[in-house]
Amino acid sequence: MVTQPHLIMLDIAAKQVFTADERGNRLSILRDGLDKVPDGVIASPDARYIYFTQMGKPDFKTQTAMAHDGTIWRMNMDGSDLTQLVGGGQIRTPKQITADWQAGKLYWCDREGMRVMRCSLDGSNVETLVETGQVPQDENDQTRWCVGIAVDPVRRQFYWTQKGTPDGGKGRIFRAGYDLPAGEGSDNRSDIEVLFSDLPEPIDLELTESYLYWTDRGDLPGGNSVCRAAIAGDGRIAKKWDVLSDGLGEAIGLVVDHDGRQIYVTSLGGVLYQMGLDGSGLKHLAKFSSLTGLTKYPKAA
């Protein structure tokens, strides 16, 4: 029997986009020799395309991406027909990426660009939804850096993280509506909610019908972890959250596998983890070079 892909993952040290099975075994390398650091990845539910981000050229003295040359790419499920959708100085450090497939929109966070952004699935109509600071005066304030992103197409809202300084305990998670309030701009919109604050260093987000999940790479109590907060039917989010699993190193990417009732998590140290939806049964599945984003391989494939 041929082993089917279950996950699509990004290895920033090996500069690869690759697939893996449910046990974490690498199956096929979709793209190799990437020229910049890949961070976020998502696949269309119709199994037609994979979309992924690449951060701008890093400044090795500050360990941040300072050039305005970040990009967003699309390719076929087999890695062919690689096409740049967004680039040319439009974005700086694109991080996690997600989509509202029915509305035909990609959403992502631009870290040093200090923005939450979206565009059409073909890369057109690039918009800034939230702007937390100005370049260059605010670019080194890491409390303004936007990283993780999730969308709620039903309530027409999006969520994002601002990570704060490394291990700083100043991370926050926010929520706002798809549409800017009348007469307001991305830098002064009044509908932004601060859902959680004083987190170690929150990174990627995943939204389900009942929970908001996130990874936290901060090396503080409650960090190196996967966390979640309950969401009520009316959209209210619990004021307290649960740490489902910790001791994961610098946790980065996560994806919730509803069919398998599992969560998969990656770390910068290259470890792929698996756990139950409540954090139980933690497994160290595999070790790679250095992992960032991952996503579920679409069933339609």
First to last CA, the chain: 16
Q: Which two tokens stand for residue 107?
A: 């959403």
- pLDDT tens digits for range 214-229: 999 999 999 999 999 9
CATH class of 7-296: mainly beta
Q: Which contacts (CB < 8 Å, 24+ apart) does range 20-23 have?
A: 20/272, 20/286, 22/260, 23/285, 23/286
Q: How far apart, in whole angstroms, are the C-alpha atoms of residue 88 and residue 70?
A: 8
Helix H, strand E, coil C: the string for 239-289 is CCCEEEECCCCCEEEEEEECCCCEEEEEECCCEEEEEECCCCCCEEEEECC
Q: Which two tokens stand for residue 298?
A: 């679409």
- What is the band of 301 on the pLDDT scale with cuts at 50, 70, 90? low
Average pLDDT over every residue of 175-203: 97
pLDDT surpassing 70 at residue 66 = yes
- pLDDT tens digits for range 267-281: 999 999 999 999 999
- pLDDT tens digits for range 123-161: 999 999 999 999 989 999 999 999 999 999 999 999 999
